[in-house]
Amino acid sequence: MEIKIGEIAKRSGVPPSTIRYYVRQGLLPEPTKVNKSMAYYDERCVERIQAIRHLQETKYFPLSVIRNILRRMDEGLSLEEAEAIEDAVFGASSSETGNVMVEKSGFLEQTGLTDEQLQLAQKTGLLMPYMQEKGKVLYDQEDIRFARDILKRIMDFGLDIRKLDFYVRLGNEIIDHEIRLRRDAVHGTSAKENIRITTEIARVAEFLRGYILKRLFQRRIQSAIQKSLQK
């Protein structure tokens, strides 16, 4: 059934301007235009808008991620199934967990970084805002903790954070290998099985990174201590 934009706005609780914006962004299907001033929308847009608002307001997912979730829903998956991968990859970025997003001014205030330090951290690739899409930048609590407790302390020691760019360079290499492993694992599987496998791989990979790097560091220190004791 097709209905006017006013009815869509009434049922969904969002203004017509937002509905048109969602259409332009490819989140909602194009309406059926009767003439220049009259168009009819699919009634299912109401449920779709509710899903979009949920993903924006409780998950803070960027539009590109939301668009991908909606694509999975169009393939027959439920909202919970469709967002499972993003939940595993992006973590608990929900307002329910207190992970409030802040813009640049709030970020600088909470971290103590100067604008110049912020620009340097982002230019080196060490600081990667949770959301950075079409000029809109938002920082989550993990960004804030990383900048405040790690980057600022390093800078306060007088160290050049550009020397830490190997983390980004080698990190990208690790992620490339992980993505290839995932592609091999999900090849030929159904959509639901793809989601299940990808979700598990994301969780396993996160643990692997921390565990292996920590153990490698410990082994190196142990070796250095043993050599010093033999002198």
Q: Give the residue extent of every domain in the chain.
A: 2-90, 100-159, 162-231
Q: Are 99 and 93 in contact (CB under 8 A)?
A: yes
Question: Which of 1.10.1660.10, 1.10.3720.10, 1.10.10.60, 3.40.50.9100 is the CATH number of 2-90?
Answer: 1.10.1660.10
Give the mean pLDDT per block of 10 residues along the chain (231 residues): 92 94 93 87 94 88 88 89 83 55 94 96 95 84 95 94 95 95 94 89 93 96 90 69
* CA–CA separation, 32 and 34 (whole Å): 7
- For residue 195, count CB atoms less than 10 angstroms from its CB and return exposed for 0-12, middle for 13-18, buried for 19 or more: buried
Closest CA to 155 of 125, 102, 112: 112
Question: In this structure, which long-range contacts are made by residues 35-40, counting pairs with CB atoms below 8 Å and at least 24 apart in sequence?
Answer: 38/4, 39/4, 39/5, 40/2, 40/3, 40/4
One fold for 2-90 and 100-159: yes
* CA–CA separation, 5 and 9 (whole Å): 6
Integer angstrom CA distances of residue 99 from 22, 46, 153: 25, 27, 23
- For residue 154, count CB atoms less than 10 angstroms from its CB and return exposed for 0-12, middle for 13-18, buried for 19 or more: middle
Identity (one letter) of the amino acid at 157? F
Integer angstrom CA distances of residue 101 from 123, 154, 183: 21, 24, 32
Instruction: Write down the architecture of domain 100-159 according to CATH.
Output: Orthogonal Bundle (1.10)
- Reported in sequence order, the residue ranges of 44-155 that DSSP labels E, i.e. its strands, are 131-133, 136-138
Closest CA to 84 of 212, 194, 9: 194
* CA–CA separation, 24 and 50 (whole Å): 17
